[in-house]
Structure 1
Amino acid sequence: MKHLSFSFSVITVIALLFSLALSSADSHENFLQCLYNHPENTTSISSIVYTQTNSSYSSVLDVSIQNLRFFNATSKPVVIVTPLVVSHVQATIICARKHGLQIRTRSGGHDYEGLSYVAGVPFVVVDLIKIREIEVDVENNTAWVQAGATLGELYYKISQKSKTLGFPAGVCPTVGVGGHISGGGYGFMIRKYGLAADHVIDAKIVDVNGNLLDKETMGEDLFWAIRGGGGASFGVMVAWKIKLVSVPSIVTVFRVSRTLEENVTGIIQQWQRRANKLNESLTIRVKIGRVNSSKSGNLTVGAQFESLYLGRIDDLIPYMQKSFPELGLVKKDCTEMSWLESILFMDGLTNGQSTNALLNRTQNGLFFFKAKSDYVRDPIPNVGLEGLWPFLHEDVAKDAYIQFTPYGGRMEEISESETPFPHRSGNLFHIQYIVFWQEKGDVAAQRHVNWIRRLYNYTEAYVSRNPRSAYQNYRDLDIGVNNNGYTSYNQASIWGFKYFGNNFNRLARVKTKVDPRNFFRNEQSIPSLISKGRK
């Protein structure tokens, strides 16, 4: 009887799985029929829909993947849609909702955990790679930029219209504008101008009902939520209207390295106490990793001090000699260039490349990687810094680094509730930990992920607490995840307060208002407050 019962159970499970597979296939086919016949599609959509049997499916899926950890993920989308116009986005949302498919939105593919193109349930990717127009209005110092454009494309287009306008966002040119701005977005002008999201003056989003909303029609709460709260929880971002900022026609950059033998621990200690108090036109970032000693040739720990100064060398040198003499900066360390060229410099493209390189949507060389983040409110003591160095000597860390980005300046002047991004006043600097590797396989991946988790556990005593804060654009599923279906506010709070602090509660209220049944969801999306029983 037990044997018969067991056999019956197996048959039942197989039948259930078969039924689910058929149901998924039916949903997929019904979704396609809905999409092709939808009245919103005034422009033909069939040419930009890719199913898993389409010969171009793999190349379309892979082109924007920036992390090899997810290059061969088993949970692939049943359909990829690359909209040409907003009506394609509207139809995709309406049909996916009607036929039980989730949506993941991709604007550049830099999602650190691959959530914009990986899911554990049947889903559709809306890849905005073809919705990328940029219109710059020099007279009013504004620009409309569609969500599928990259930062490099945006910077390049601004430079074609003006040499004295810029935008305070990231330095990686291949990052998609849609996700970057909606998560906050920072770069080397953070101390002068704050975040990218701080300069949004209008936006366009397609909501759960397929409506295209702008600032006026979406209302104050939703407009607040998408400027740092992550747009993917609330709809599909399709465009941002941004306020451009003034930049000098000539800026100064430098990148100088110091090692343990050159007292780098002491220099970093002074940097912690001064970097957030320097002139707001000067940002000095520290990138710490393993290097070869210039003296002995042996492995040691070194730090690169990378900087953008919105001014000329002759002003910078005497200022640095007075304000941060420990670094020992001299004129030959510095280079004057245009602000646009400084983007290439900070991205490591220093071999005389044309600024046309900013139009390249694909990174040069892809790696497996894992990253984490922190915020620091009090200087890490010498003993804390010295405890970091052994981690960087481990073999697994040969392509890892720890990056400190200073706050202060404009970031001290904006309230933590002005936008969902709460990490403002009181933070000395932000940390990004990141480890890269090239070996394939689960064993190599686990070895590197374990290393960064151990490093993260070590620094707990020296960073923000209650909660230990994190940056939403450096998504990290280690800090908490949602369920596939219903997720309670309390469960989501585990990660939510780390990203958004006290703003998380308001974000959940906005979510409940605009997407009460939680259609737009992922492993770290804002939850609806509607109870499971009322869904």
Structure 2
Amino acid sequence: MAASGRKAVVVLILCMLCCNTSLLPCSASSDSFLQCLSAMMPSELVYQQSSSSFTSVLQSSVQNPKFVTNTTVRPLCIITASDVSHVQTAVRCGRWNGVRLRVRSGGHDYEGLSYRSVQPEVFAVLDLARLRGVQVRPGDDSAWVDAGTTLGELYYAVGTTNPGFLFPGGACATVGVSGFISGGGIGLMMRKYGVGGDNVVDARIVNANGDVLDRFAMGDDLFWAIRGGGGETFGVVVAWRLKLSKVPPTVTVVNVLRTMEQGAADLVAKWETTILQPPVLPDLTIRVVLQYRQAFFQTLFLGGCSDLLNTMRGLFPELGTTAADCHEMSWLRAMAFIYFGNTDTPVEALLNRTNNVGNYYFKSKSDYVRRAVGKAGWDSLYQQWLSQNGNGQIILEPHGAAVGGANTMTTSPYPHRRGVLFNIQYGSNWCCGANGTEAAAALGWLNGLYGFMAQFVTSNPREAFANYRDLDMGQNVIGSDGLSSYWSARAWAERYFMGNYRRLAAVKAAVDPTDYFRNEQSIPPLPK
């Protein structure tokens, strides 16, 4: 046996002696964890804090610069897995030595929980960015997608190899596919094709024992849970098989900007009472972004300009959409246009994974609306809130009271699909070099706006979107048994998952009873 092989066996035996055969976690041992990794995977894939590249790798996909400060609890190391076996090694070494993993694909987690810990603890980041690739063939209605792939990379692979098909993802190309799906995944065409989790037909997951399971080996309950039950809870998904849906050769994208003086509040009120009411037009999506004194209407239509104009003249003539506003293009070019904002950007730009961290920190919150806010409500929103903060933003994602329908199975854990008109994402930004006064003002504005909107949105519970993670709603409490408390987690989990929370907790108890995979807002095991 080669020396390296003997070394791996010795470390393996020592690690297993530390724990019993059920792989229960031992007391945290940083040195033995690092030795275990060193023995069982290439050393160049593990970046310790002493490495000169540690900070650059850690920050490589951080989307919010406030989480790269010295006050953030940093990982013991970063494991940049390039093979499924490396993921298995990371899980097994972590379990044997009591070191937890934070799993990162695209790094868009709004609270940064995929690469940082809020409370001091020994943990490692398992970065999946090297595990990226899309296996798709012309004419096939599905694709295998590695967990570290971004939506932009997925769009490019499907649009260039299989141009008659689409995947109904979101508008942001740098979002990781795994993060998108694990939180449900709301997207531009979800009223026709469902959310991201609805379009998963198979998956491969590394469970808490380090075993690789496909859909049939994992069972129906776990397969249901991973398609929207939240990330870092049930294991590490390493690949997804995604359903692709047919798309016409030409789609139309229209961007229309209107100001308060041009009746922005009236137009938003018309949008919510006409475009979103049943019967829903599944081929038409109008997404709305509100900022300062403006409303930006972003339209995606599965068809040509003339058909879109006929539809808009009948439903929404007040918006004043004209042929000059239309951009007819392929679905792939439309995804690039929606993300980059212009027709000149080549579709190859969707392959750029570089993070977009700028000079601003941000904080987000979310809501769901089941009854129209009304013109008076939108007028007040503009007058009292939006026109007072140029850095604040509100994004309205249309649900149209029915997500999915006949085109997809709607059995994933995403619960906000029936009766919801639209989702709201609130955001507030402030300069990262600013003093505490500016940060306090930005957060005060956001919290005040959130309080104002309570009269218009859902209640008991006030619904929220798991992919817009918000720690203000609560964090897990670790009980005397060492497990996250099911009862305390209800404060936030029932807002994300509503009636599905208990079933998700039951799945957690079955597949990860020792609560190895966890963060501040992961699903706890259901108590016995």
> Normalization by structure 2: what TM-score?
0.90
* Range moving further from structure 2, 470-479 or 344-353: 344-353
**Superposition map of 1:311-350 within 5 A:** 311-350=303-342
Residue 481 (str. 1) matches residue 475 (str. 2): yes
* Range moving further from structure 2, 433-442 or 305-314: 433-442
In structure 2, what is the equivalent of residue 27 of structure 1? 29
In structure 1, what is the equivalent of residue 131 of structure 2? 131
Residue 449 (str. 1) matches residue 446 (str. 2): no
DSSP 3-state at the match of 1:502 = helix
In structure 2, what is the equivalent of residue 284 of structure 1? 286
Contact 1:184 1:196 in 2 (8 A): yes
DSSP 3-state at the match of 2:170 = coil
Q: Distance in 1 between matches of 2:410 and 2:513?
A: 23
Q: Distance in 2 between matches of 1:515 and 1:162?
A: 38
In structure 2, what is the equivalent of residue 18 of structure 1? none
Q: Which of 514, 519, 523 pairs up with 1:522?
A: 519
In structure 1, what is the equivalent of residue 344 of structure 2? 352
Deviation for aligned residue 1:349? 3.5
In structure 1, what is the equivalent of residue 62 of structure 2? 65
Identical-residue share of aligned pairs (%)? 45
**Superposition map of 1:124-523 within 5 A:** 124-277=124-277, 278-290=280-292, 301-350=293-342, 352-366=344-358, 367-389=360-382, 390-394=384-388, 397-408=389-400, 411=403, 413=405, 418-440=411-433, 441-484=435-478, 485-523=482-520
Deviation for aligned residue 1:351? 5.3
Label 1:470 to 1:61 Cα distance change in 2 as closer, same or farther (>3 A): same
Contact 2:201 2:242 in 1 (8 A): yes
* Range moving further from structure 2, 102-111 or 263-272: 263-272
Label 1:71 to 1:444 Cα distance change in 2 as closer, same or farther (>3 A): farther
Deviation for aligned residue 1:364? 4.2
Q: Distance in 1 between matches of 2:392 and 2:190?
A: 24
- Which 4+ runs in 1 deviate beyond 6 A? 414-417
Contact 2:254 2:299 in 1 (8 A): yes
Deviation for aligned residue 1:134? 1.1
Label 1:194 to 1:210 Cα distance change in 2 as closer, same or farther (>3 A): same
Q: Distance in 2 between matches of 1:78 and 1:49?
A: 10
Q: Which runs of 5+ in 2 are unaligned?
A: 1-25
Contact 2:144 2:241 in 1 (8 A): yes
Label 1:95 to 1:443 Cα distance change in 2 as closer, same or farther (>3 A): farther
Q: How many residues align structurally?
A: 491
Contact 2:63 2:355 in 1 (8 A): yes
Contact 2:65 2:357 in 1 (8 A): no
Cα deviation code 1:383-406 (max 9, x no counterpart): 322221121122xx2222111111
In structure 2, what is the equivalent of residue 104 of structure 1? 102
Cα deviation code 1:299-324 (max 9, x no counterpart): xx110111100000011111110111
Contact 1:265 1:385 in 2 (8 A): yes
* Range moving further from structure 2, 66-75 or 87-96: 66-75
Label 1:398 to 1:200 Cα distance change in 2 as closer, same or farther (>3 A): same
In structure 2, what is the equivalent of residue 20 of structure 1? none
Deviation for aligned residue 1:331? 1.2
Q: Distance in 2 between matches of 1:123 and 1:417?
A: 36
Q: What's the Cα RMSD here?
A: 1.9
DSSP 3-state at the match of 1:205 = strand
Q: Give the partner amino acid of 2:228.
A: G
Contact 2:264 2:294 in 1 (8 A): yes
Deviation for aligned residue 1:412? 6.2
Q: Distance in 2 between matches of 1:168 and 1:55?
A: 40
Label 1:511 to 1:417 Cα distance change in 2 as closer, same or farther (>3 A): farther
Deviation for aligned residue 1:123? 0.5
Cα deviation code 1:45-69 (max 9, x no counterpart): 2110011001111111011101112
Q: Distance in 2 between matches of 1:87 and 1:442?
A: 45
Contact 2:139 2:162 in 1 (8 A): no
Q: Distance in 2 between matches of 1:273 and 1:86?
A: 48
In structure 1, what is the equivalent of residue 21 of structure 2? none
